[in-house]
Amino acid sequence: MSRPGSGLVLGIESSCDETGAGLVRGHELLADAVASSVAEHARFGGVVPEVASRAHLEAMVPAVDRALAMAGVTLRQVDAIAVTAGPGLAGALLVGVCAAKAYALALGKPLYGVNHLAAHVAVDQLEHGPLPAPAVALLVSGGHSSLLLVRDLTGDLTQLGSTIDDAAGEAYDKVARLLGLPFPGGPPIDAAAREGNAQAIRFPRSKYADGTADFSFSGLKTAVARWVEAREAAGLAVPVADVAASFQEAVADVLTRKAVDACLASGVDHLVISGGVGANSRLRDLAARRCEAAGIRLRVPRPGLCTDNGAMVATLGSDLLAAGVPPSPIGFAADSGLPVTEVLAA
């Protein structure tokens, strides 16, 4: 179980296309400054690593300065620094890690290189308090779809299952492109789905009842593509809202079914949903109804805390600091493939 402390922690996030700087004291959010480069990637239909890295270089110091101003504190008042060490884009991670090391060395403060995925789970505590132990976490984002058993956020996480191909967020981006919707695909598909019929098309639910906690969304993406192609080949208009709603229903159906099953199989009565896809309205609604029916307490942070941000990194750093976990050695490396079970970079 996480232990809130009283230290002031600066969190730095740069794993993908958001430069985040956040400040927390214990589980109190003081500032959350985010600079996004998503507009620079939109014309490519996806994140371009080199573009993201350069955007982080430009935004890092201003983001930290903005967070300090929002919180009304100075760098000298910071007790510890936390930074995303992985997983993520290698070049993007390096910008954040190098910046955090520079701040830590200049200030003489302890530095925690933390796991981006564990930080997504930790951020819920800013809204709902300490995380009960054990809990199951459904982590859904552009690059990850995983189910985790969380006994202690500071070092005891077990991966129950993950995607065997595309993550849910990747599928959203690819389907949005098929439908002529903007990048990133999550928000525009969610918006279009509100005007559509979720039962109009029965898209497949891969691995829906296979007895595992794993996911697969590649087949769903392909099924949508073939349906759209067949429609266009027949000279018929594509009902974008119905396709979006039917696709979204398939994703939410699988995610929530697997998450509830994982809770029941693990004997856990708390489910946390985190990551960018956690902001999706249908996922949140269906998860709430299924958790209530199964007697499971659902925790989902507000949408602004679901996407990548520095506050989530600071929160996990705060937990590590309060638990007395030794900081990372100053020579730790950014690790684009850091396993979710490794909370702290060695």
What residue type is 226 in one-letter code? R
Q: Are 24 and 73 in contact (CB under 8 A)?
A: no
What residue type is 164 in one-letter code? I
Do the domains spanning 8-123+309-322 and 135-302 agree at the CATH topology level? yes
Structure confidence by residue, pLDDT tens digits, 129-143: 999 999 999 999 878
Report percent pLDDT > 70 for the chain.
99
The string over 249-279, giving b where at least 16 C-beta atoms fall within 10 Å of a residue's C-beta and e elsewhere, is: bbbbbbbbbbbbbbbeebebbbbbbbbbbbb
The string over 3-12, giving b where at least 16 C-beta atoms fall within 10 Å of a residue's C-beta and e elsewhere, is: bbbebbbbbb
Look at residue 3 and tell me whether its pLDDT is greater than 80. Answer: no
* Phi, psi of 280, deg, nearest 5: -65, 130
Sign of the four-CA dihedral 210, 211, 217, 221: positive
Spatial CB neighbours of 205, under 8 Å, sequence gap ≥ 6? 220, 250, 253, 254
234: number of Cβ within 10 Å: 7
What residue type is 73 in one-letter code? V
Domain residue limits, the chain: 8-123+309-322, 135-302
* Phi, psi of 297, deg, nearest 5: -85, 125
Look at residue 5 and tell me whether its pLDDT is greater than 60. Answer: no
Structure confidence by residue, pLDDT tens digits, 321-336: 999 999 999 999 999 9
Look at residue 1 and tell me whether its pLDDT is greater than 80. Answer: no
8-123+309-322 CATH: 3.30.420.40
Query: Mean pLDDT across the chain, nearest whole number?
Result: 95
Look at residue 114 and tell me whether its pLDDT is greater than 90. Answer: yes
pLDDT band at 80 (very low <50, low <70, confident <90, very high): very high
pLDDT band at 256 (very low <50, low <70, confident <90, very high): very high
135-302 CATH: 3.30.420.40
Look at residue 120 and tell me whether its pLDDT is greater than 70. Answer: yes
Structure confidence by residue, pLDDT tens digits, 196-240: 999 999 999 999 999 999 999 999 999 999 999 999 999 999 999
Structure confidence by residue, pLDDT tens digits, 288-307: 999 999 999 999 999 999 99
Least confident of 4-8, 105-109, 240-244, 331-335: 4-8
